[in-house]
């Protein structure tokens, strides 16, 4: 699964660490998601989408 | 949130909060104590077999079992509590590295250690099997760490 998390995060000028603390996960988890090494659970994907005020499918896609 | 470092083999202590430290440290301590008690019991049981010496402490071992069991159960409970509070990326990392360890353990155990016991008369005691598992977790931990996190160190913005 692909995502544009890094692009969205960069737009807000947030570091991985800062963004991780906004959605209650570690910097390493954000990094793994951005690099496509780990697919987030549905609750985390929803939390991320809510943070960016977007739909899940606008952030995560295949 | 717990982070890992040093190739994935160590939890970064500074990333843990106080409750994490209590439960992770307590879990490790209880596991260590239980392992020591188990080692004394196993050493007693297997030592007699390996050395042929009569063990005069045999009567004590049945009384030590409950302490070892309670230590492992208590340690596992604390570690479970700790893991339940961690984020899913960390849990995923641990599951993956442990799967490497378990697979390594079974594959090497069945293909090498077990045939050596059966056909060559080698005596693999529990320690050797534990070492196989530990080696597998070590290899797996490093491999998964490189897959999941190493890019992070170079590309963090």
CATH code (residue A15) = 1.10.260.40
Range of the domain at A50: 2-61
CA distances from A58 to A31, A47, A62 (A): 19, 13, 11
Contact A31 B15 (CB under 8 A): no
Is the pLDDT at A29 greater than 70, yes or no? yes
Six token digits for residue B153: 């160190």
Contact A16 B156 (CB under 8 A): yes
Q: H-type helices in chain B, by residue range?
A: 18-51, 61-84, 88-108, 114-120, 126-148, 150-155
Radius of gyration of chain B (CA): 19
ipTM (interface predicted TM) = 0.82
The count of structural domains within chain A is: 1
B134 pLDDT tier (thresholds 50, 70, 90): confident
Is the pLDDT at A60 greater than 90, yes or no? yes
3-state secondary structure of B10: strand
Total-model pTM: 0.75
Beta-carbon contacts of A9 under 8 Å, excluding residues fewer than 6 positions away, are A16, A19, A30, A34
Q: Among A58, A30, A8, which residue's Cα sits nearest to residue B156? A: A30
Distance from CA of A47 to the nearest CA of B (A): 13
């Amino acid at each position: 699964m692909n995502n544009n998390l890094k692009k969205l995060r960069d737009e807000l000028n947030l570091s991985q660490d800062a963004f991780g603390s906004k959605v209650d996960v570690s910097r390493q988890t954000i990094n793994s998601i951005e690099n496509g090494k780990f697919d987030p659970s549905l609750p985390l994907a929803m939390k991320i989408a809510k943070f960016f005020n977007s739909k899940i499918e606008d952030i995560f896609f295949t | 949130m717990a982070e890992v470092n040093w190739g994935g083999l160590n939890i970064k202590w500074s990333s843990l909060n106080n409750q994490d430290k209590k439960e992770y440290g307590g879990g490790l301590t209880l596991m260590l104590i239980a392992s020591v008690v188990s080692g004394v019991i196993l050493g007693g049981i297997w030592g007699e077999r390996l050395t042929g010496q009569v063990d005069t402490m045999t009567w004590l071992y049945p009384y030590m079992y409950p302490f070892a069991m309670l230590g492992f159960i208590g340690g596992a409970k604390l570690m479970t509590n700790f893991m339940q509070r961690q984020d899913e990326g960390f849990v995923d990392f641990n599951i993956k590295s442990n799967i490497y360890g378990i697979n390594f353990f079974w594959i090497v155990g069945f293909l090498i250690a077990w045939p050596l016991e059966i056909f060559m008369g080698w005596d693999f005691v529990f320690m050797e099997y534990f070492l196989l598992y530990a080696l597998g977790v070590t290899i797996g931990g490093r491999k998964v760490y490189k897959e999941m996190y190493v890019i992070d160190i170079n590309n963090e913005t």
